[in-house]
């Protein structure tokens, strides 16, 4: 894909380890979605926090080589990630079969049978949700490939700021998941007023969180790059990208809240279509044109993010309230 030649020996083994770990991520997510659906969000949180701690320890031991272990660099980070993700799945599997509060669900789990009705519904809805999330991820992945064409320093700065951006995204996504759970409960009871209240409350929360996250990013933008690298060129470029990062916090929070609200009312096909338009028809072309046609470099590529995310969030907001008006 035209990435810097000197990085390929580092990328390949790390990529294979990440690919293997996805199997355990998927199995863990099956348990996590079950627990979230019955409003038990704490179990998933503690398992993931424990896995993060395990990953941090593993990184410290395997990247740099501690206590006689070999210094494996990026491959060591991949091994640590794979180990922590295996732990996440195994821990939740053990809890699912042994935790007292899950016993009544376990009875139904043992008694149930595979049936085409449930499989078809889950597959149809899951495919649309997966496409929506996949297209959002693809926006950052494909633009990352474009940035790789610019060289090692821009690619490094992109990876640093993309990592920092997850601080905002995961906070927003936690609130968004809560909105999805609340909206689905209200919608299942036919309480459209409750659906509106839950969504509006989530929008207010995310608006406040977006402001707080943006202020934090602006305060640390000149210095946070030093936590990742000793390259002054990369740190200076990180400071520039952090400004663009602030500009897409509103759009990111907007699309997260209404994507989850649409999931809650099972209107997942329109959500996937809107994501395709926002990310592939609008954001990626804007990134390419600004980055290469206008020759604005990495800053131009990053401009596609606030444009795509904000327009996607706006379209999802319109679709959600249009859907509710039809339902009365």
Q: For residues 301 and 299, give the distance between their C-alpha atoms in angstroms, rounded to a whole number.
A: 5
pLDDT per residue as tens digits for the range 26-43:
999 989 988 888 888 889
Flag whether pLDDT at 276 surpasses 90: yes
Taking residue 110's Cβ as centre, other Cβ atoms within 10 Å add up to 7
Kindly state the average pLDDT of the residues 114-125: 84
Can you tell me whether residue 58 is helix, strand or coil? helix
The pTM of this model reads 0.76
Least confident of 56-70, 122-136, 232-246, 293-307: 56-70
- Give me the residue label for tokens 């206008």: 294
- Give me the residue label for tokens 């979605």: 33
Higher pLDDT: 320 or 122? It is 320
Token digits for 156? 């490094």
Flag whether pLDDT at 328 surpasses 70: no
What per-residue confidence (pLDDT) applies to 1?
67
Helix ranges (DSSP H) in the chain: 8-37, 41-64, 74-98, 103-111, 116-148, 152-188, 192-220, 232-247, 249-264, 268-275, 284-288, 297-327
With beta carbons less than 8 A apart as the criterion, state whether 59 and 76 touch.
Answer: yes
Q: For residues 166 and 71, give the distance between their C-alpha atoms in angstroms, rounded to a whole number.
A: 27
Residue 176 neighbours by CB under 8 Å, 6+ apart:
202, 206, 256, 257, 259, 260
């Amino acid at each position: 894909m035209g990435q810097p030649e000197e990085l390929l020996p580092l990328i390949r083994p790390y990529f294979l380890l990440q690919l293997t770990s996805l199997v355990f991520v998927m199995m863990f997510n099956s348990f996590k979605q079950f627990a979230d659906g019955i409003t038990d969000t704490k179990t998933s949180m503690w398992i993931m926090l424990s896995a993060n701690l395990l990953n941090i320890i593993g990184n410290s031991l395997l990247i740099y080589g501690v206590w006689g272990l070999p210094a494996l660099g990026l491959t060591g980070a991949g091994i640590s990630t794979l180990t922590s993700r295996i732990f996440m799945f195994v821990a939740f599997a053990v809890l699912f079969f042994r935790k007292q509060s899950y016993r009544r669900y376990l009875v139904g789990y043992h008694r149930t049978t595979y049936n085409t009705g449930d499989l078809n519904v889950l597959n149809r809805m899951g495919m649309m949700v997966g496409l929506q999330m996949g297209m959002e991820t693809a926006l950052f992945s494909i633009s990352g490939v474009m940035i790789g064409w610019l060289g090692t320093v821009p690619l490094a700065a992109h990876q640093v700021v993309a990592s920092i951006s997850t601080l905002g995204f995961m906070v927003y996504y936690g609130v968004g998941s809560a909105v999805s759970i609340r909206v689905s409960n209200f919608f299942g009871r036919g309480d459209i007023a409750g659906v509106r209240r839950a969504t509006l409350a989530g929008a207010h929360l995310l608006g406040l969180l977006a402001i707080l996250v943006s202020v934090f990013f602006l305060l640390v933008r000149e210095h946070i790059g030093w936590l990742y690298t000793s390259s002054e060129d990369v740190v200076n470029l990180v400071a520039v990208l952090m400004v663009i990062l602030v500009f897409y916090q509103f759009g990111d929070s907007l699309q997260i809240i209404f994507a989850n609200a649409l999931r809650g009312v099972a209107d997942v096909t329109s959500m996937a279509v809107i994501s395709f338009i926002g990310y592939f028809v609008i954001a990626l072309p804007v990134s390419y044109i600004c980055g290469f046609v206008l020759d604005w470099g990495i800053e131009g590529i990053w401009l596609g993010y606030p444009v795509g995310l904000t327009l996607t969030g706006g379209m999802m907001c319109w679709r959600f309230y249009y859907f509710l008006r039809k339902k009365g």
